[in-house]
Amino acid sequence: MGKVLMKGNEVIAEAAVQAGCKYFFGYPITPQSELVAYMARRLPEVGGLFLQAESEIAAINMVYGAAGTGVRVMTSSSSPGFSLKQEGISYLVGSELPAVVVNIVRGGPGLGNIQPAQSDYFQVTKGGGHGDYNIPVLAPASLQEIVELTNEAFDIADRYRTPVILMGDGMLGQMMEPVEFGERTHSELPEKNWATTGTRGDGPRRIITSLELNAQSLETRNAALQKKFARIKENEVRYETYQTDDADYIMVAFGTVARITMNAISKARQEGIKVGLIRPISLWPFPEKPFLETRDVVKGYISVEMSAGQMVEDVRLAVNGHAEVDFYGRTGGVVPTQEEIYQKILSVAGGSRYEHENSF
């Protein structure tokens, strides 16, 4: 097929279709509406079904119904609409149903605006809905990575019977880059012997529910869920490091912000400041390993986010007091520039050098 120039939102949709997603229930909202529009046109071509629901709440519950039959299904939204889906997402977790939910984050809180943001980090990584749960969250930084991670998201969902969140920001959704849809990797996945497609009298009844009125039974069920989350933490951590080997300071950033940060790192390196980057690709499970490997060697970390400081809390947990953790963030849809990030590097790295020079 070769390279094509597409918008991020369209890439998510096409990658989902190629991953075998034939059902989409959604409701348009900027900055992810192109995804919905693409699905409306594309799914009928592959014998699938696109349905624009009357609301985000309806859409996520339709996803619940479709997922119960064992098909690959997806919904997508942006921050306020994603908030509306939380009840349904909690039900998906409680009923152990696989689905992919996309959040192309915009500025908040409230109605906010339509500009890029990462301020739903807490919501996606710490639960979001009610009850004790975590959901795997994948955060691509480029359109090519969207292709790979969308496919992965569906596989992870099927492997663990869990909803998976694909999180980007308005910039990732709106931008165009060349992408190539190569051969899809097929991983071995468990048979969906739980799907409610009718037993035809040849087996026991299959019931999908998150209701469990007996407290002891619900605790047992929670214990099983926690075990599953532990398995996910063990197996599904994804991250990338960049120039961390000799780094005095390590930046931490995900998604598009990681790319802007990489430009700032190049500039800092030209000035002789040794800076590297840890880019979490799975936001949950959060990659602790690259921090354990570096926290006794580096002078400090700087988390850069389009939020008032959310991922930085996970960075602090992973560093656990072994090194300084600093933060730079912009909010409300403002995207940090490479110059601002570079200045932050200077103030942290240059600052301590200055102190060192003056300690004589």
CA nearest to 182, candidates 6, 15, 12: 15
Q: Which of 84, 260, 278, 312 binds another protein (CB under 8 A)?
A: 260
| Residue range at the interface with another protein (CB under 8 A); choices 16-24, 122-130, 259-267, 345-353 | 259-267
Which of 18, 20, 30, 347 is the binder for another protein (CB under 8 A)? 30
Say whether residue 31 binds another protein (CB under 8 A): yes
Cβ(268)–Cβ(349) below 8 Å: yes
Judging by beta carbons within 10 Å of its beta carbon (0-12, 13-18, 19+), is residue 352 exposed, middle or buried?
middle
Q: Which of 11, 139, 262, 273 binds another protein (CB under 8 A)?
A: 262
Which CB atom, from 287 or from 336, has the smaller least distance to another protein?
336
Contact 92, 129 (CB under 8 A): no
Strands 163-169 and 300-305: unpaired
- Write the interaction track for another protein spanning residues 324-353; mark x where CB under 8 A is met and - where it is not: -----------x-xxx--------------
Which of 40, 53, 58, 175 contacts another protein by CB under 8 A?
175
φ, ψ for residue 153 (rounded to 5)?
-60, -45
- Of 21 and 105, which has the nearer Cβ to another protein? 105
Q: Is 29 in the site for another protein (CB under 8 A)?
A: no
Residue 181 near residue 1, CB atoms below 8 Å:
yes
Shortest reach from residue 61's CB to another protein, in Å: 30
Q: Which is nearer to another protein, 59 or 171 (CB)?
A: 171
**Using CA atoms in the order 241, 125, 164, 87, what is the torsion angle rounded to 10 degrees?**
-170
Q: Per-residue contact track with another protein, 105 to 144, x per CB under 8 A?
A: --------xxx-----------------------------
Would you count residue 3 as binding another protein (CB under 8 A)?
Answer: yes
Which run of H or E residues covers position 154?
helix 143-160
Per rule CB under 8 A, is residue 266 in the interface with another protein?
yes
Instruction: Specify the residue, 69 or 338, whose C-beta has the smaller distance to another protein.
Output: 338
Q: Select the residue interacting with another protein from 44, 109, 178, 182 (CB under 8 A).
A: 178
Q: Is residue 13 part of the contact set for another protein (CB under 8 A)?
A: no
Burial label for 193, CB within 10 Å (0-12, 13-18, 19+), is: exposed
Residue 291, CA atoms < 13 Å, CB-side half-sphere: 24
Residue 167: closest CA among 125, 107, 105 = 105
Q: What residue ranges bind another protein (CB under 8 A)?
A: 3, 5, 30-31, 113-115, 170-171, 174-178, 256, 259-260, 262-263, 266, 335, 337-339
